[in-house]
């Protein structure tokens, strides 16, 4: 009858291969890629596109992992080129969805735990800063800058609803006006671009992966890329020389874990990259295309396995 939905789906001969390919993609994106990609230090010259590539890899790894169990069950229950209707395989369907649900639940649970912990830490630290600090509103300080009395030069920002940039008084005494302006521009770039949410996203994914296959090196690379983005924003305000000098002064400055500080990544590499202010448009285009290829490739493999397009 015209318009009648068939009782089964018809699959191609190679859809099992596509499902196996999706498994390979998931394994590659979860384990070796986060370990090998940081070796391509040329990506640090285009931190924005490089960060998008890392996000594409992470999202594709999640998507592939969530789709694997239902697709594997789908291949298991088929008879030749035909797959019975879902009602005929309810127990196996439940198993596949349960495994995918466990992955999603693990991500949601980690997101809740980490998000709650970070926001609580930032709220408590902001209250402490407000209690002990000296808010500055006169030039050259923006209204949200708070100065703490401390002998160690340091600067960091507190993201969230109660945003503020925190400086120590020794930072003000140690840095000339242009370097101090670069430090402030760096920290305010973190707040404006919501780098805290980007870092939180990667932290959730990083901690959701079992410790045995987790890549700490990949997480360090993400933190470096975030700092490079803030460095570039500061360079547009005061120039690379002032930013580099401010970075030298504050390279060893500590900051609380839930905050973002200018000394939060290797200073030597950042200074090297500050000396290179070229746009690297060709490299950026290649990296963006690679990010799109990772996303589209993973989606096409999963879609092909589902519809039997192999």
Residue pLDDT, tens place only, 17-50: 889 999 999 999 999 999 999 999 999 999 999 9
DSSP string, 34-66: HHHGGG-GGGGGSHHHHHHHHHHHHHHHHHHHH
Span 56-110, pLDDT tens digits: 999 999 999 999 999 888 888 766 556 657 677 788 889 999 999 999 999 999 9
**Which residue intervals of the chain are DSSP H helices?**
15-30, 32-36, 47-77, 90-132, 169-174, 177-192, 195-208, 216-238, 240-250, 267-274, 281-307
Decide if 101 is inside a domain. no
Same domain, 134 and 75: no
Same domain, 147 and 251: yes
Decide if 120 is inside a domain. no
pLDDT at 137 over 70: no
Same domain, 138 and 16: no
For position 81, what pLDDT does the model report?
Answer: 54
Decide if 117 is inside a domain. no
Mean pLDDT calculated for residue range 177-206 = 95
Same domain, 218 and 284: no
Q: What angle do CA 30, 262, 271 make, to 5 degrees?
A: 85
Same domain, 165 and 295: no
pLDDT band at 12 (very low <50, low <70, confident <90, very high): very low
150: left (phi over 0), alpha (psi -120 to 50) or beta: beta
Q: Which residue from 184, 281, 185, 262 is spatially nearest to 223, judged by alpha carbons?
A: 262
Decide if 118 is inside a domain. no
For position 74, what pLDDT does the model report?
Answer: 81
Decide if 92 is inside a domain. no
Same domain, 230 and 148: yes
Span 124-136, pLDDT tens digits: 999 999 999 988 8
Domain count, the chain: 2
Same domain, 157 and 249: yes
Decide if 107 is inside a domain. no
Same domain, 240 and 296: no
What percentage of residues in the chain have a pLDDT greater than 70?
89
CA dist 233 and 239 (Å) reads 9
Long-range contact pairs involving 109-115 (C-beta distance under 8 Å, separation at least 24): 110/204, 110/207, 110/208, 111/204, 114/200, 114/203, 114/204, 114/207, 115/200, 115/204
CA dist 213 and 218 (Å) reads 12
For position 139, what pLDDT does the model report?
Answer: 56
For position 140, what pLDDT does the model report?
Answer: 67
Same domain, 174 and 242: yes
40: left (phi over 0), alpha (psi -120 to 50) or beta: beta
Decide if 59 is inside a domain. yes
Same domain, 153 and 184: yes
Same domain, 272 and 129: yes
Same domain, 267 and 289: no
Mean pLDDT value across the chain: 89
Mean pLDDT calculated for residue range 227-245 = 95
Mean pLDDT calculated for residue range 260-268 = 83
Q: Which residue from 9, 189, 173 is spatially nearest to 82, judged by alpha carbons?
A: 9
- Does this model's pTM top 0.85? yes
Decide if 108 is inside a domain. no
For position 55, what pLDDT does the model report?
Answer: 98
pLDDT at 138 over 70: no
Q: In terms of residue numbers, what domain contains 185?
A: 125-277
């Amino acid at each position: 009858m015209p318009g009648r939905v068939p009782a089964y789906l018809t699959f191609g001969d190679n859809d099992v291969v596509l499902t196996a390919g999706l498994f390979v993609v998931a394994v590659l994106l979860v384990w070796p890629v986060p370990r090998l990609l940081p070796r391509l230090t040329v990506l640090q010259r285009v931190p924005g596109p490089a960060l998008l590539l890392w996000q594409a890899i992470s999202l594709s790894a999640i998507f592939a992992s969530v789709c694997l169990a239902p697709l594997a069950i789908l291949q298991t229950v088929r008879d030749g080129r035909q797959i019975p209707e879902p009602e005929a395989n309810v127990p196996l369907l439940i198993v596949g969805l349960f495994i995918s649900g466990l992955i999603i639940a693990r991500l949601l649970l980690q997101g809740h735990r980490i998000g709650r912990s970070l926001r609580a830490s930032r709220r408590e630290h902001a209250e402490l800063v407000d209690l002990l600090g000296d808010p500055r509103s006169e030039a050259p300080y923006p209204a949200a800058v708070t100065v703490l009395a401390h002998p160690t030069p340091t600067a960091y920002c507190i993201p969230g609803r109660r945003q503020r940039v925190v400086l120590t008084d020794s930072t003000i005494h140690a840095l000339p006006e242009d370097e101090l302006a670069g430090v402030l521009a760096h920290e305010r770039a973190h707040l404006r671009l919501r780098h805290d949410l980007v870092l939180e996203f990667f932290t959730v994914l990083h901690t959701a992966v079992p410790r045995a296959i987790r890549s700490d090196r990949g997480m360090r690379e993400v933190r470096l890329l975030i700092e490079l983005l803030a460095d570039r924003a500061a360079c547009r305000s005061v120039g690379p020389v002032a930013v580099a000098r401010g970075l030298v002064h504050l390279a060893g400055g500590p900051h609380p874990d839930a905050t973002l500080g200018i000394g939060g990544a290797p200073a030597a590499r950042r200074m090297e990259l500050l000396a290179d202010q070229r746009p690297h448009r060709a490299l950026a285009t290649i990296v963006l295309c690679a990010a799109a290829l990772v996303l589209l490739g993973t989606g096409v493999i999963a879609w092909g396995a589902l519809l039997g397009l192999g």
